[in-house]
Amino acid sequence: MPRTKSKTKAPRRRRGSLPTEPSLHRPSQQAIVRLKDGELGYKIVYLGRWPDPTKPPPREVMRKFDQTVAEYLANDRRLTVPEQSEDGMTFGELAARFFAERKSEISTKTWLNFRGTFRLIKEAGLVDKLVSEFGIPEIVAIQRVVLRTADKRVTKRELPDDYRRSLATVGGHMRRTKRFFTWGSSKGLVPPEVVTRIKLADVTMKPTDERIRPPKRRQPVPTRHVVAVKAHLTRPLWDCVQVLWETGARAEEILGLRVCDIEQRGIIDRAGAHVWTARLDRHKTAHHGQTRILKFAGRERRIIERLMREKSASDYLFDPRDEDSASAAKFKRDRYAPDTLTRRISAACRKTGVPVWVPHRLRHGAYTRIVLETGSEAVAAAVVGHAHGSKIGRVYNHSAEELAERYCLARVGVVLDRGESRYRLVV
């Protein structure tokens, strides 16, 4: 039977032309229209609820759409967005503005976490509730939904009767719920007294609470388990594992390094070589305004130095094309993804018969090792790049970069101040 041709798609709207109908913002089920406001760029106008996308927009939505477009044309294609009264804004409208304005400011993982929190609030039936009416009972109701709702990945299989969410998951959802309102208050969309009421809600849970799963202690990976996978990893991946072991960096930070990112200047160590530096523009905590600086001395610096001799300035240090021809042909990119490193290490662990470990445990091991060697959590936080939980700026007179550099020099036997202890790395 001859195949029938599909229907012709509607022509795409030309850039700069006026929309003929509203669009749907799916996370909040709000009808929106996107218009260009002169030189200020495009802005989004929220028109109200569109509960059933399979049906045409409600009359009230279409009335607001026609009114907005008419005012837009009357003002010489400049947008005049009517001020939303504080008492009339629902949580769905607040969330829609949050997602529209903050998408470019937060990381992808954080964005997805906020989407998950919004789905739980929607399940609690509070999307249409006015933000001015939120208080302690609503926050407790959201927590109740969070506790009884399973993770998305768990619902794909049979849910055990004793299933409980972890403390970190529950606490994260409750912090993000409050963050919706604190952000709205900073924009003048939420009354300050609402934020005060929400902050008074005592939803803090202890690890001994029977409604949650106790937190799992992440133990550092033993050295013998790291050495065991060497025979089953390619040379670029084993080099990456060694650098992760020494620096305590995140896998995506090391795998994303290029030759041009390495600064070959700084204090000279005992061997006559500089402590090298890498300043990362894109990293996990960049949206918090944090600066991530990596320091390389000793074995990791020698590995990077060897890799740099074989590459040009724009090449990645850890390139899958450096593997043998059979393996390199499988890669279409010039860099490894963190998931690739995790899969390769897991496969190597199974081949050698050691317990499976993931690259992030190397970071936990580095943090523990630095604390044991230096006796200072601030130094460990500076080296591995923790954004929170550190007293570097309040307790020490050194910056995080200087503390990390001092530790790297101490590892290779350089003492900057008289009486400063020498730290030895035992691998």
Q: What confidence score (pLDDT) does residue 153 get?
A: 47
Q: How far is Cα 397 from Cα 182, in angstroms, rounded to an integer?
A: 33
CA contacts within 13 A on the Cβ side of 381: 15
Query: Which pLDDT belongs to residue 423?
Result: 34
| pLDDT value at 424 more than 80 | no
Reduced to 3 states (helix: H, G, I; strand: E, B; else coil), residue 292 is strand
Which strands sit side by side in the sheet containing 30-36, from one edge to the other? 23-25, 30-36, 42-49
153 or 228: which leads in pLDDT? 228
CA distances from 10 to 7, 211, 419, 425 (A): 9, 52, 76, 65
Token pair in block for residue 262: 């390495």
Rounded distance between C-alpha atoms, residue 328 and residue 250, angstroms: 24
Q: What is the mean pLDDT of residues 244-248?
A: 88
Q: Evaluate whether 308 touches 262 at the Cβ level (below 8 Å).
A: yes
pLDDT value at position 393?
A: 40
Which has the higher per-residue pLDDT, 293 or 183? 183
Question: Is pLDDT above 60 for 385?
Answer: yes
Whole-angstrom CA distances from 62 to 24, 25, 59 are 12, 15, 5
Poorest-pLDDT segment among 2-16, 162-176, 199-213: 2-16
Tell me what the mean pLDDT of segment 231-239 comes to: 90
CB atoms within 10 A of CB 209: 14
Would you place residue 11 in the very low, low, confident or very high pLDDT band (cuts 50, 70, 90)?
very low
**Per-residue pLDDT, 350:** 93
More confident residue, 244 or 267: 244
Least confident of 158-162, 269-273, 336-340: 269-273
Beta bridge partners of 316: 258
Whole-number pLDDT of residue 110:
83
Q: What is the pLDDT of residue 349?
A: 94
Number of Cβ within a 10 Å radius of residue 350 = 13
Q: Is the pLDDT confidence value at 60 over 80?
A: yes
Using pLDDT thresholds of 50, 70 and 90, give the confidence band for residue 95.
confident
Domains and CATH numbers, the chain: 23-82 (no CATH), 88-199 (1.10.150), 223-411 (1.10.443.10)
Q: With bands split at pLDDT 50, 70 and 90, how would you rate the model's confidence at 155?
A: very low
Amino acid present at 308: M
Residue % of the chain over a pLDDT of 70: 73
Cβ(237)–Cβ(341) under 8 Å?
Answer: yes
Q: Is the pLDDT of residue 36 over 80?
A: no
* Beta-bridge partner residues of 279: 293
* pLDDT single digits (tens) 328-363: 556 667 788 888 899 999 999 999 999 999 998 888
Task: Determine what percent of the chain falls in helix, strand and coil, rounding each to the nearest 5.
Answer: 45, 10, 45
**Residue 325 pLDDT > 60, yes or no?**
no
d(CA 252, CA 393): 26
Q: What is the pLDDT of residues 171-202, one digit of tens each?
A: 888 899 999 999 999 888 888 898 888 888 77
Check residue 419 and give its pLDDT: 37
Asked if 241 and 251 touch (Cβ cutoff 8 Å), the reply is: no
pLDDT at residue number 170: 85
At residue 9 the predicted structure's pLDDT band, cuts being 50, 70 and 90, is very low
DSSP annotation of 60 reads H
**Percent of the chain scoring above 90 in pLDDT:** 9
Q: Nearest-CA neighbor of 367 among 258, 269, 244, 264?
A: 244
Q: Kindly state the DSSP code that residue 294 receives in the 8-state scheme.
A: E
Q: Residue 122: what pLDDT?
A: 87
Average of per-residue pLDDT values in the chain: 76
Dist CA 84 CA 196 (whole Å) = 21
For every residue of 272-287, DSSP letters joined together read: S-B-EEEEESS-TTGG
Q: What pLDDT is attached to residue 421?
A: 36
